[in-house]
Chains A and B, each alone.
Chain A
């Protein structure tokens, strides 16, 4: 089967660092993707990992451990505009994307 787990909700303070975890069990692995989705809008691409390790893009970093079926998204210097849902998605061998339930992040002043 295919299963992706993420925390449902997280809260953090402006300027802080937050880590959003994702664990997965899928039929094959061909990359892990993180998307940001503001309320009422479409998901937008943030980050992509296909090999183990850390990928850094400005204030956002994503980590992958394929042996553990684990990834995290790290957001630094949080801003109010980072309040959104963060979706973890795995691309499997069928070349389709399986999405997790999403983590709703609230950034407080």
Chain B
């Protein structure tokens, strides 16, 4: 099966500019996550979608970050305006979440989008 697709792989912008990242999860995966991973740290959840509804966005800086998952498939994450501290890798992940099947709980990650804010 095809994996989680993300683009762009790399993006360099200046502070106060905007950027958008795109993610296409594994076909049939109901749950989609966006994580932020700063160099040397573990991934931090930004937002979790179940189909096209938001399950958890408590750690999303809503004054500058937004995300949507139209039709419960692809998702975009936008940052506007960007700050220096937003420099990180933005990881998209998906999981099947079929009840009663433990293997469905495994997160599969995309390759990530590396953002550098100058």
Contact = CB atoms under 8 A, between A and B. Distances in A.
Contacts of A42: 91, 109-112
Chain A's interface size range is 20 to 34
B45 A98 contact: yes
B25 to A, nearest CB: 13
Interface string B37-49: 0001111110010
B56 interface: yes
Contacts of A66: none
Given A94-B56, A95-B31, A95-B97, A45 B42 contact: no
Nearest to B31: A95
Contacts, number: 57
A96 B42 contact: no
B44 A99 contact: yes
A101 B40 CA distance: 8
A73 to B, nearest CB: 14
Contacts of B43: 43, 87, 99
Interface stretch (B11-19, B72-80, B100-108): B100-108
Nearest to A31: B105
Contacts of B35: 99
A97 B33 contact: yes
Interface of B: 31, 33, 35, 40-45, 48, 50, 55-56, 91, 97, 102, 105-112
Interface of A: 4, 30-31, 33, 35, 41-45, 48, 50, 87, 89, 91, 94-102
